[in-house]
Structure 1
Amino acid sequence: MIQQWLNWRTILGLVAVFIISGTILYSQFLAKKIAIQERKNVEILVEAQHTILNASDTASINLATKIASENKSIPIIETNEKDSLTYNYLNLDTIAIKQDKNYLATTLETFKAYAPPVILVIKEKPYTANKYYYGESQLLKEVKYYPIVQLVIVALFIIILVMAQRANFKSTQNQIWAGLAKETAHQLGTPVSSLQGWIEMMRDIEGNEKIVPEIEKDVQRLLLITDRFGKIGSIPNLEEKNIIEQVQNMIDYIKKRASGKVIFELEAFDETNIPSLICPPLFDWVIENLLKNALDAIEGKGKIAVSIKDTASQIIIDVSDTGKGITKANIAKVFKPGFSTKKRGWGLGLTLTKRIIEQYHKGQIFVLHSEVNKGTTFRVILNK
């Protein structure tokens, strides 16, 4: 269990969390140090102001003035002992002060919430004093918000990396699909051609009149499968076909292979021709897979209904059955490669179906509704 959990992805994730956490903690530590130092700087400035007011010698005044003038980063607002503005301030936006008459009062409230003032007592009796409220310097803000900026940059980098990896994985997956499909079509082509030759030879032998047509049907079926795999491995050409006719043909094909206890219905809402651009062999494969799945779900007894709706912008095909249904946990898995509830299933039928509809026909396919022991409805949407 520990070995499965402790892989290189987990280790990299833990290292990233450690680095980011360390950066945040260190930034907060630096911010606290800077805040303490800035408080001391404000106290020194206030003391310098006190010296300027009370010093008698020029040297002390000059030194105090120099100390006071060196504060060029910490914003300060002066008030009297009653917290009324004296309109003396340092390092504030003078343009904003001119444009907004409430700017100083609003900023003062912010400074009050940030830290207690440094008080300069001018007289004890009557009590006269100046209060100096201050805010964060630009340096302190940058140190405090640096981890947030870093997190955003790291998050964007991770998102781009994940998207690139997914795109690369999808591209590789598509190449594998195409390669397997082309190789399958190629491998089937040789024996099918050979079988066609044997059929021609068997025609000339007496007594094979009933056997040859049946074998020929199977060979035609193999040719259709070869053609389907060949089109999956390349970009198929789309043709305008009557969807109702295409679906009806596949219903007739599956109906011959079903028991007499299965009822098939096709509802097209009085339409006789619904044209759409499709690749006929691949589209037939989609309908065939959905009908076969429905046939397996009802286990030889029940109803399979196909509904075709023609809207202004879409053609909607619903394939419903009265079978065993799909659990909620499995609905999200039905289109994933390898997933199958059949004992001998490969779990590729619906995967191929999704690929054909979404990639080659630019449509949608999904489970519209399913309820255990009541049935399932798959919906196919073709955009006009």
Structure 2
Amino acid sequence: MIRSLLNVRSLLALVAILIVSGTIWYSSYLAAKIEREERQKVEQWVEASNALLSPTNTDTRLAFKITQDNDDIPIIWTNERDSVFGYKNLDSAQAEDKTSGYLQEQLRSFRKARAPITYFDPFDSTRINKYYFGNSRLLSEVRYYPMVQLVIVGLFITLTLLSLRSSYRSTQNQVWAGMAKETAHQLGTPVSSLEGWIELLKETHGHEPFVAELEKDVSRLRLVSDRFGKIGSTPKLEPRDVVDQVRQMMDYVRKRASGKVRFSLETHGRESIVAPLSGPLFDWVIENLLKNALDAMDGTGSIAVDIQETDSAVQIDVTDSGKGISKANIAKVFKPGFTTKKRGWGLGLSLSKRIVEQYHRGTLFVKNSEPQKGTTFRIVLKK
């Protein structure tokens, strides 16, 4: 699926590059062609305008028609020192306002764009007049068209990639949910059978110590099955005591850790902090974070959990004194399959992030981490 998505992205990028490149080339070709034609029109207009002023010209019909037909190319004519003494197809109101600087601004723009057309003054052949001209509306539209198309193509590619990404995530979520529910289903039958055998063992004298331990392990299996069963369905969030939930999971993990690991819980004087939770799933998150902390310390160190309450959220920081996470791996720790351990599937943190963000509408992220000093994961739950 990932390889297919990458291929689709590459194909879309290639198509977009070809479309934009072809459009820019053809638009540049059209713009250059239109510019040549417009220069010829301006040259004809200049000749026609000067012909109308010539006292020897008796037939002015053609010259008059040429000057009248030019109604879209802006022109400014000046003397040799670029002093403006005429214009055409510009905003008359602004041009007549001597204080606006409109004509000078247009003249600078025309002078920067192209060289002027020069013509001898019809009344004084020793003087040369200059005719500067700008782009017609058609030429401007042709030149700006590639930019417009580039924006359209960019929006199209963006929407397509977002759609593909959404589809990929939806498929990925369905796979996760299907695997989880199938695991819960497969665990259900043997767990129910084990519960039946425990009830039979309770009636047999002499097995009481073993029955109690078996009962704990089967209860644990039932809890695991219940957790997997809740993946993929919308869990019911109920007001629960976050401090109590975290304390219970710390006690559970502490019993399974070596005596060289110190556990501490800081609640800043709050004995109870209530937030909407799915108990089994939230316990799973805390358990995963605590077990990861244990694995990072190789049996020696400290694990500190800090719980703070704000007006709108509850923050839970899980800090260990382990080997830390390199900067290159921080962005990967929540990806399915990523693990630095010799054993494990790399699913714990990925599942934890999904549980916090998709089911509890909170956030789970690496607050900070330093190699050989430790890592802090932060959970933020909305109240």
Interval of TM-score (by shorter of Structure 1 and Structure 2): over 0.9
| Runs of 5+ unmatched residues, structure 2 | none
Partner of 1:272 in structure 2?
271
**Residues 198 and 211, structure 2, Cα contact 8 Å, conserved in 1:** yes
Judge which range, 42-51 or 121-130, deviates more.
121-130
Instruction: Determine if the alignment matches structure 1 residue 43 to structure 2 residue 14.
Output: no
The alignment-based identity, stated in percent, is: 57
Instruction: Determine if the alignment matches structure 1 residue 91 to structure 2 residue 81.
Output: no
Judge which range, 149-158 or 373-382, deviates more.
373-382
Can you list the C-alpha shifts for 1:30-67, whole angstroms capped at 9, x where unaligned? 212221221111111111112212253543x1111111
CA shift, 1:154, in A, is 0.2
Residues 142 and 312 of structure 1, relative CA distance in 2, 3 Å threshold: same
Q: How many residues align?
A: 379
Partner of 1:194 in structure 2?
193
Q: Output the amino acid matched with 1:122.
A: D
Map 1:52-201 → 2, pairs under 5 A: 52-54=52-54, 56-59=56-59, 61-86=60-85, 88-97=86-95, 101-122=100-121, 127-201=126-200
Partner of 1:214 in structure 2?
213
Cα distance in 2 for partners of 1:103, 1:354 equals 61
Cα distance in 2 for partners of 1:135, 1:57 equals 29
SS of 1:127's equivalent in the other structure is: strand
Cα distance in 2 for partners of 1:284, 1:290 equals 10
Cα distance in 2 for partners of 1:381, 1:85 equals 69
**Residues 119 and 130, structure 1, Cα contact 8 Å, conserved in 2:** yes
Q: Output the amino acid matched with 1:188.
A: L
Q: Output the amino acid matched with 1:25.
A: W
Partner of 2:366 in structure 1?
367
Judge which range, 11-20 or 289-298, deviates more.
11-20
Residues 272 and 362 of structure 1, relative CA distance in 2, 3 Å threshold: same
Can you list the C-alpha shifts for 1:210-240, whole angstroms capped at 9, x where unaligned? 1111111111001111111111221111111
CA shift, 1:7, in A, is 5.5
CA shift, 1:125, in A, is 5.5
Can you list the C-alpha shifts for 1:166-185, whole angstroms capped at 9, x where unaligned? 11111122222222222222
Partner of 2:22 in structure 1?
22
CA shift, 1:339, in A, is 0.4
User: Structure 1 length as normaliser, TM-score?
Assistant: 0.93
CA shift, 1:70, in A, is 1.4
Q: Output the amino acid matched with 1:311.
A: T
SS of 2:258's equivalent in the other structure is: coil
**Residues 123 and 129, structure 1, Cα contact 8 Å, conserved in 2:** no
**Residues 83 and 131, structure 1, Cα contact 8 Å, conserved in 2:** yes
Q: Output the amino acid matched with 1:307.
A: D
Partner of 1:325 in structure 2?
324
| Runs of 5+ unmatched residues, structure 1 | none
CA shift, 1:208, in A, is 1.3
Residues 149 and 49 of structure 1, relative CA distance in 2, 3 Å threshold: same
Cα distance in 2 for partners of 1:166, 1:81 equals 63
Residues 350 and 8 of structure 1, relative CA distance in 2, 3 Å threshold: closer
Judge which range, 332-341 or 205-214, deviates more.
205-214
User: Structure 2 length as normaliser, TM-score?
Assistant: 0.93
Can you list the C-alpha shifts for 1:127-172, whole angstroms capped at 9, x where unaligned? 3443221001111111111111111100000001111111111112
Cα distance in 2 for partners of 1:228, 1:122 equals 94
Cα distance in 1 for partners of 2:245, 2:210 equals 29
Residues 137 and 10 of structure 1, relative CA distance in 2, 3 Å threshold: same
CA RMSD in angstroms comes to 2.1
CA shift, 1:124, in A, is 8.0
Residues 125 and 132 of structure 1, relative CA distance in 2, 3 Å threshold: closer
Cα distance in 1 for partners of 2:239, 2:19 equals 58
Cα distance in 2 for partners of 1:7, 1:227 equals 39
SS of 1:33's equivalent in the other structure is: helix
**Residues 53 and 122, structure 2, Cα contact 8 Å, conserved in 1:** no
**Residues 30 and 143, structure 1, Cα contact 8 Å, conserved in 2:** yes
Q: Output the amino acid matched with 1:44.
A: Q
